[in-house]
Structure 1
Amino acid sequence: MATDTASDAGTATANEPLHVDGQSQLDDIVAENDVVLVDFYADWCGPCQMLEPTVETLAAETDATVAKVDVDANQQLAAAYGVQGVPTLILFADGEQAEQVVGLQGEDQLRALIETHSE
């Protein structure tokens, strides 16, 4: 995995997933971007690890801003969105929660979901 020091400055480019730590940071990302796909994951979760390349591809190739939330480090944030299992993906469009999908999803399904709200 490439180490990119640009993300350390707090201004990560939109073509890589942003790692979220806390509600206020997530609120800012949702407020500043039209379409945001949030991946609630855990390091110990096998399906989450399988989903990671897909999430990175979507961040690079779609208009959506992709954010990742470690549910172990952000239990209150996960609870606030009703995350029961991981991976859970929540799509925000125009600042509102639009979709929520649980479990390993295919790239095509997620791309279609993003494109539905990117119009």
Structure 2
Amino acid sequence: MKKMLLAACLLLAALVGLAQNAVPADAFEKGMQQPDIQLLDVRTAKEFNTGHLQDALQADFTKKSEFFDRIKYLDKSKPVYIYCLSGGRSTAAAKWMRENGYTQVVEMEGGVIAWKQAGKALTGVAAGPQLSIPDFEKAVSNGKWVLVDVGATWCPPCRKMEPVVKQIVKEKQLKLVNVDAGKDTDVMNSINAKAPPTFVLYKDGKEVWRKEGVVTLEEFRSAIR
């Protein structure tokens, strides 16, 4: 009897602890308004493109290599607000993050389903046609130096690269061609770009350099010399 009572108490304590970190949609939305919040969607890219919360980053928890690669660009000392479709994946992801040094991780109870049931809007539904391969080829052939940036607003390392790309484009007077990793799959396949961010430099219409992942300013400068 005592063992059963102890087990029940431990289960209750665990549930209480979880409830302190999982909040309903209204409280989640209010918390998002704080400064320095990092908002993380751990659904698949396909799910993300059906609509997501404003300014959310995306890292698919079902693809562990992608998840770990992307979240390493989050600041462990700043709050992370995390969600998925119904709460299961975000709970598992949040547990791992707390155990690995992320100091404040808050989950949305019920995920996107609860968010929509509360009458709250989503943004970022993928729309419009893809960039065609002929249009892409025309763009990269029209300029002495062209930088192709395969990225997405929801990709954490892509966000990190934004000021670096802006600076090198201005500094070297490059033509910039953006390829949307969430939509322009035909172009990505044609140039064998497997994941964002991927950067490809063209000189006089021919590829001369590429790198997948974060690139330093010096790496860009060295490639353009």
Band the TM-score falls in, shorter-chain normalisation? 0.7 to 0.9
Rounded to whole Å, the distance in 2 between the matches of 1:21 and 1:50 is: 24
Structure 1 residues without counterparts, runs of 5 or longer: 1-19
**Deviation at 1:22?**
2.9
Aligned twin of 1:114: 224
- Of structures 1 and 2, the one scoring higher in RCO (CA 8 A, sep 6+) is 1
Q: Which amino acid aligns with 2:158?
A: C
Rounded to whole Å, the distance in 2 between the matches of 1:24 and 1:57 is: 28
Contact residue 22 and residue 77 of structure 1 kept, 8 A: yes
For 1:57, what is the secondary structure of its paired residue? helix
Aligned twin of 1:76: 186
Contact residue 181 and residue 195 of structure 2 kept, 8 A: no
Residue 137 of structure 2 corresponds to residue 27 of structure 1:
yes
Q: Which amino acid aligns with 1:72?
A: G
Q: TM-score, normalised by structure 2?
A: 0.40
Contact residue 58 and residue 66 of structure 1 kept, 8 A: no
Rounded to whole Å, the distance in 1 between the matches of 2:135 and 2:160 is: 25
Contact residue 40 and residue 68 of structure 1 kept, 8 A: yes
**Deviation at 1:61?**
1.2
Of the structure 1 ranges 23-32 and 65-74, higher mean CA displacement relative to structure 2 is found in 23-32
For 1:43, what is the secondary structure of its paired residue? coil
Q: Which amino acid aligns with 1:105?
A: V
Two-structure CA RMSD over aligned residues (Å): 1.6
Q: Which amino acid aligns with 1:56?
A: K
Of the structure 1 ranges 74-83 and 56-65, higher mean CA displacement relative to structure 2 is found in 56-65
Structure 2 residues without counterparts, runs of 5 or longer: 1-129
Residue 224 of structure 2 corresponds to residue 96 of structure 1:
no
Q: TM-score, normalised by structure 1?
A: 0.73
Contact residue 140 and residue 177 of structure 2 kept, 8 A: no
Percent identical among aligned pairs is: 25
Aligned twin of 2:195: 85
Out of 163, 185, 190, the position equivalent to 1:53 is 163
Q: Deviations over 1:12-40 (max 9, x none)?
A: xxxxxxxx933233222222101111010
Of the structure 1 ranges 62-71 and 39-48, higher mean CA displacement relative to structure 2 is found in 62-71
Q: Which of 1 and 2 has greater Rg?
A: 2
For 1:113, what is the secondary structure of its paired residue? helix
Out of 130, 152, 168, the position equivalent to 1:42 is 152
